[in-house]
Structure formats: structure tokens, C-alpha cells
Chain A
């Protein structure tokens, strides 16, 4: 219990529960299966993004380019599928998007690890460069008609349940993809030396070097990993949207970073968990999608989001400082 109140996950879960109860009391539709499944669908894209973001944050870096990478990969992939009339299994599109994302991530990784440039500046630069590349050399026009297999994918659901009146609701299969990405991230972080090295580098890069960790190699994993997850998030986003807009997603990177930070990821590196980050994503989604149930106008939502970030990260920080002060006295 003592450890629990020091953990960010505990607070975030508390906030989620309180918020859900308040919303549910005001509007019972909130607890309907339809709404819950819809919330689930809304967490998918941000949830996948957040796993890459978590890894970068853990290593002590910050990557703001993942949304540009996502837009780049999904747009190029969709453009290709449409132009060549590809309508085979969607998995091919996913793999291509992830591949493109991985290559772009590698660009970040090389700049960060070989030249030791500050990660924030590198990713800020590349995010402009990637987006600009698409607009200049490819196109700015929205791809409006996607291959039918893509739209079919976005309609595939699991846990399909009848809710009466002849209606059925289900949870998007993409939710499973997000869970898989989270599971993989969790496994890497928890059970591999690579994962522990990421934590170690975030804790102290110079100590990591002295311990014999190949810091450059680890960073050459992290940034392409971010790229791959971004490519995946991008292509799922366009399947959901039933179109591919190269201007989409860009600008939402701070939401993703905020979600990870809400979930306990430390911007200074070394701290954060998959579970916490997932809860952060859930809370962000809840605030973005469900405050409307309380009749809160959408302009207020941004303010609410801001206040929740301040509260949910501020209170545990205070709690930690308290316990640290107790320790030293």
C-alpha cells in the first residue's frame, strides 16, 4: 500500500474511475457497451503511438516526429495501394507502412546516435522535413477511396454482441493490434537486456557507457522502433478514417507525449511503464471524447486536459518529495 501511493499508475487509475463515475452518473449512456467499445477504438492509434513515445522517454530522449512519420508512411502506402490497384490482404499495407516508418525512424536514430544531437531538435527538424517532403514531392491531395480490404478491416470487430432492437456492437480488431504492440513493448522492456539498457541509459548515460552498454546501438533500436509503431498507427488511422489525409495526425504528438507523462513516464528518462502509459492514453481519450457527456463544451476540454495533466503529475511528485524529505530527516 505504501508503495502504491507513490506510484503514478495508482493516481491515474483513481482519476479514471472518478471521472467515469461522474460521467456515468450524469449520463447512463456512458456505460453502454456501444460507448465503451467506441472508447476502445479511440485509444488504438494513440495507444500504439504511446508505446514508441514511452521507449524514447525512458531512454531520456523525446521524439516529436512520430506523427509526421505516421502521416508520411500511411499516405505513401495508401497512395501506392490505390495507384497500383492493390487489394490483397491488408497485412501487406501494414508491413509497408511499418517499413517506411522504420526507415524514417532510422534517420532519427542515426542523427541522434552518431552525432549525439539533442533528440528534441533532431525530431523537430525531421518532422518538418518528412511532412514537407510529402507535400512537395508526393501530393497534398487526400486519397479518398481506399482499397475495399482496408475499409473491411476497419469494419471487422470482435466481441460482437446484440444490444437489442436488432442492433449489434463490437470492438474493433485493431484493438488487438494495440494490445499486441503493448505486449511486445512490455516484453522488451521487462525481459530483455535491451529493455533494461533503455532504462539504464535514461537513468545515467555515462554510467551506462561505463557498464559496457552499447548506447549507440540501443538508440539505433529505439528510434526505428518509434518509426515502426508510428507507421502502424498511421495506417490504422487511415483505415479508420476510410481515407488518407497527409495533414492528419500531425500536431497531435504533444497529446501522445502528455498521455505517456500522465501515465508516469519521466521526461528526464528512466521511469515509466507500459501499464501506466496505457492508463494515460485511456484518460486522455476519456477526456477528449467523453466530457461531452457532461455537457462540457469542447473548448473547455482542452483546459480540462491541461488541469488533469497538472494535477495527475503534480500530486505524485509532491508525494514523492514528501517521502524523500522524510527519508533524509
Chain B
């Protein structure tokens, strides 16, 4: 009891009838690395906001450094050494590294005057604490995401942080950068600074944290030493059900059906070359590889965004030259882009318009006017088919959760009657429950004869949902893994070898 630094006891919080937190408790010791896991909407962020003083709990007790609070203000929380690093880092893109690190403390100390020297002093002291070197006068927006995260961590150090809460800290980082972040966190631990990870990326959680707390529907469902957990168990707790660990088996087509997509020696002279593989109707094939391996460019090429210069594309036995998007769509190829928010959806537009945007030609009636009834029929079918949860399809897509948005993108392509669907990171930023739904949907589509090409970094996702995984490296196909015979560790081993 006495050596615990943070104690949240029986925290209860309601939002206009929704019971967001049900008597949740969380305790942390100095230097402890803990993970707070849970699906979207499980109450993770609400709990963090109670700790940081943004929300006032209805009941419960907050005890930090043995000071008891019924409700804590943001200033008190910071004063006790709790520092939150938000997913967006809350930085000023236009200011220098030094200013970003020093700004909070200068504001807190109610400084009237600003001195560049003082800001630089504060900043370099903070950077020293985490043993990192960053150019103090660089403009923040010109730095990489990883560097910006380091700025946010350094800023937390300025105020003598005792606990750093990282909200989805690793989402935008590459593996190398994640490793570097973890070594910094271990270093902080040796200085007695605790870290609370808020995450739904399970593999990383297991790698770094000592303790884990799992929330589901606002209640704590499990807590303990991370080493006693594995991915399946955590998932089980998070979702309340078993996520299948089965492998995908392609749906066998009638004999002599030509492949839906066949590539032969495809290359664009720059990003990828000599790409040959075939994809049957009813099959799901995965492509993975490190950043810059050419997989995204290949996919864009097949969608007509980035012309290829050598090789052939054969669709159902017929050679086709795909040199623009219209040609790709005529041949019923669909693409769900990686960044669905900016590339795949019109966020401010109604859900229904997003679904029919790809088939306006088909629902054109007399005089080229849109046939409203037909459009509505298609929208209703896709909404119920994809299980999009919304009270009204006239609401903007931005009103939906990540998982539901992804279903709208899928629905949009399915409305166009695609034969080949390419997906880039189909479940990035989607919680586990929706992820499962999307995978199920893709398999169901494959059973109806759709050919699916899935690009992903999420190796377990590929292993479980595709029949084989193609590994690309430096623009070429290095090898293929048959998913019924391999697991993600084989792929990781191969990737390490390549690196």
C-alpha cells in the first residue's frame, strides 16, 4: 500500500445515462510499466481523463503520492507529476523544438517574458534526462513523427513527471522507432518514472509492460502480471469472446476457371519490378514487407494510379492495360486505401452519398438524373449487409467510429460489384471486435467468388485471413508463405534476415 504511487479506487463515471466506468481501480508503483488495454469505447480514455483531471468521477477516490482527492483538477494532477502524452502529441508544428518542450513550463510559471536562452536551457535539460539529442532550433513540423513523440516525452520530463501516460503511443511508429521508444521507457523506469500505455496493439503491450489492466464496457475484467498473459487471452478479455485462430481456406472454384488476376513480370522501373503472381476468384492473398518495399506502389499501379511500364496484367484470362483509374474500375477492380479518412471517404458528406459515389453511372435514370429510390435501395442493402451501426444514413461519415467507417468504404466498393478488391491496411485503427467483423465479411465475400488482395503490417491478420502471404523486399517478391504451414514468426524471421 505505502509504496504505491497512484491509486484510483472504485472510480465511477456516467455520461448522460451511459455508465462509462464501473467501479474501476488502478494502482501503480513508481517505475512500473503498465498497460491499459481495451477496445474502443471500453473506458480507457475516460479513465485517463479522470486521472488527468479532465473528467470528474461520480464516486471513488484518487490518491497520488498519498494525497487523497475526491476529484482532481488538471493543474493538481500535473503538479503531482502525472503527464499525458496524447496521440496527436499536442505540439505546435510552427514552433521550434526548444519552444515546444519549454512552453508548458513557461506557461505554468506564469512567465511574462520569453527568452530564447531560457527555453533552450529548459529543453536541453529535458532532452538530457531522456538521453536524446534533437536539434533545438529545428521547426517541429519538419521532423519525423518519432522525433515529435520524443519532443512530447521530453516536454513531460520538464515538469518532473512521475507518471507518463502514453495514449496509443506506437500507432505511427516504425518497428525501429518503437524499439527506441521502449529503450527510453526502460531508462525512465530506472529513474523511478512509471509509464502507463494505453493501447490496443497487443504484441507491443506484451513486449514492454510488466503489468496489465484490461477494461471491457467500462469495467475492469482482468489485471495481473503481463507474463501470465498471451495475445489470445488478452483478446478474449477485451472482447469477451474467443477470436478464432483458424486459417483461411480458399473457396475452390470450378475447374478451368482462369485466375481473376495474373501478373507477369510487372514493373514500373522504379518502385517494383518483375512481379509475378496469380490470384484466383474466391481466394485471399496477403502482401507484406517493410516500408519502402514497393507494395503500396504495386497496389496503386494495379488501380491505375501509377502506371507500370513492363509486364502484363491478365484479368480472367484477358490481357488488360490499366493506365488510369477509370480503366481499373471498368475492369471491376476496387481499392480500399490505407488512409481511408483522406483517400477513401468524404468525411463530411452523408453516409449514403459515400456508398453510392462509385456507382452514380449505374443509378442514372432519364435525362441523366439520379434515380433516388434505386440509390436508397442500394444504400439500405449495403448498410444492413455490412452491419454499419448508424441511426440515420444522412449523417456524415465522420460521425461513425473507425470500424464503421471502414465498413462504409467496403460497402462503397461492394456496391460497384467489384471482382478484385485490394485493401491496404484494412484494419488499421479499428478495434478488435470490428476487425473480426471485417475479416468475416471479407471471407464471406471470397466465398461468393471475389478475389481479395490484402496489404498489411499486421502479420497475424494476414496469417489468419489469407491463403498465402507474399513477402516483398526492395521492389521484388522474395518469397511466399503458405499460411496453412507457417505462422507469423516464420515471416518475422525472414524479414530480419533481409534487413
A residues contacting B by CB (< 8 A) are: 190-197, 199-200, 202-204, 206-208, 210-213, 266, 269-271, 324, 327
Contacts and interface: CB of A to CB of B under 8 A. Distances in A.
B78 to A, nearest CB: 8
Given A212-B104, A212-B107, A270 B93 contact: yes
B107 A199 contact: no
B234 to A, nearest CB: 30
A72 B230 CA distance: 72
Contacts of B225: none
A206 to B, nearest CB: 7
Contacts of A266: 94
Interface stretch (B109-117, B197-205, B281-289): B109-117
25 contacts: A190-B114, A192-B112, A193-B106, A193-B112, A193-B113, A193-B114, A196-B106, A196-B114, A197-B107, A199-B94, A199-B95, A200-B95, A200-B99, A203-B92, A203-B93, A203-B94, A204-B92, A208-B92, A211-B90, A211-B104, A212-B104, A212-B107, A212-B108, A270-B93, A270-B94
Nearest to A208: B92
B113 A204 contact: no
Given A212-B108, A327-B142, A191 B115 contact: yes
B298 interface: no
B364 to A, nearest CB: 38
A194 B110 CA distance: 10
Given A191-B113, A211-B90, A213-B107, 15 more contacts: A193-B107, A193-B111, A193-B112, A193-B113, A199-B95, A200-B103, A202-B94, A203-B93, A203-B94, A204-B92, A208-B92, A213-B103, A266-B94, A270-B92, A270-B95
Contacts of A191: 113-115
- Residue with the highest number of chain B CB atoms closer than 10 Å, among A212, A213, A270: A212
Contact of A192 (B104, B107, B114): B114
Interface residues of B, number: 20
A211 B103 contact: yes
Contacts of B103: 196, 200, 211, 213
Contacts of B106: 193, 196
Interface of B: 75, 86, 90-95, 99, 103-104, 106-108, 111-115, 142
Contacts of A269: 94
A206 B95 CA distance: 15
A204 B114 contact: no
A208 B107 CA distance: 10
A213 B106 CA distance: 10
Say what secondary structure dominates the interface of chain A: helix
A264 to B, nearest CB: 12
Contacts of A197: 107
- Shortest beta-carbon contacts, A-B, top 9: A270-B94, A203-B92, A203-B94, A207-B90, A212-B107, A211-B104, A196-B114, A210-B90, A200-B92
A183 B248 CA distance: 70
B142 A324 contact: yes
Nearest to A189: B114
- Considering residues A193, A208, A324, which has the most beta carbons from chain B within 10 angstroms of its beta carbon? A193
Nearest to B111: A193
B418 to A, nearest CB: 31
A202 B94 CA distance: 8
A92 B411 CA distance: 70
Nearest to B75: A212
A322 to B, nearest CB: 13
A202 to B, nearest CB: 7
A195 B112 CA distance: 10
B160 to A, nearest CB: 16
A212 B75 CA distance: 9
A217 B163 CA distance: 31
A324 B143 CA distance: 10
Nearest to B90: A207
Contacts of B107: 193, 197, 211-213
Contacts of A204: 90-93
A326 to B, nearest CB: 11
B241 to A, nearest CB: 37
A62 B112 CA distance: 25
Contacts of B92: 199-200, 203-204, 207-208, 270
Nearest to A207: B90
Contacts of A271: 94
Contacts of A207: 90-92
A200 B101 CA distance: 12
A132 to B, nearest CB: 35
A208 B106 CA distance: 12
Contacts of B104: 211-212
B494 to A, nearest CB: 26
A193 B104 CA distance: 11
B72 to A, nearest CB: 16
A54 to B, nearest CB: 14
Nearest to A201: B92
A324 B139 CA distance: 12
A199 B92 CA distance: 9
Nearest to A205: B92
Contacts of B86: 210
Contacts of A194: 112
A69 B208 CA distance: 60
A191 B106 CA distance: 13
B158 to A, nearest CB: 11
B135 to A, nearest CB: 12
Contacts of B115: 191
Contacts of B99: 196, 200
A271 B94 CA distance: 7
Contacts of B113: 191-193
A208 B90 CA distance: 8
A150 B375 CA distance: 71
A195 B93 CA distance: 16
Contacts of A202: 94
A192 B104 CA distance: 15
A316 to B, nearest CB: 14
B55 to A, nearest CB: 15
A27 B115 CA distance: 47
A270 B91 CA distance: 12
Contacts of A212: 75, 104, 107-108
Nearest to A58: B94
Nearest to A323: B142
Contacts of B114: 190-193, 195-196
A204 B151 CA distance: 15
A266 B95 CA distance: 13
B166 to A, nearest CB: 15
B90 to A, nearest CB: 4
Nearest to A206: B90
Nearest to B54: A210
A196 B112 CA distance: 10
A263 to B, nearest CB: 16
Contacts of A210: 86, 90
Nearest to A320: B142
A204 B100 CA distance: 11
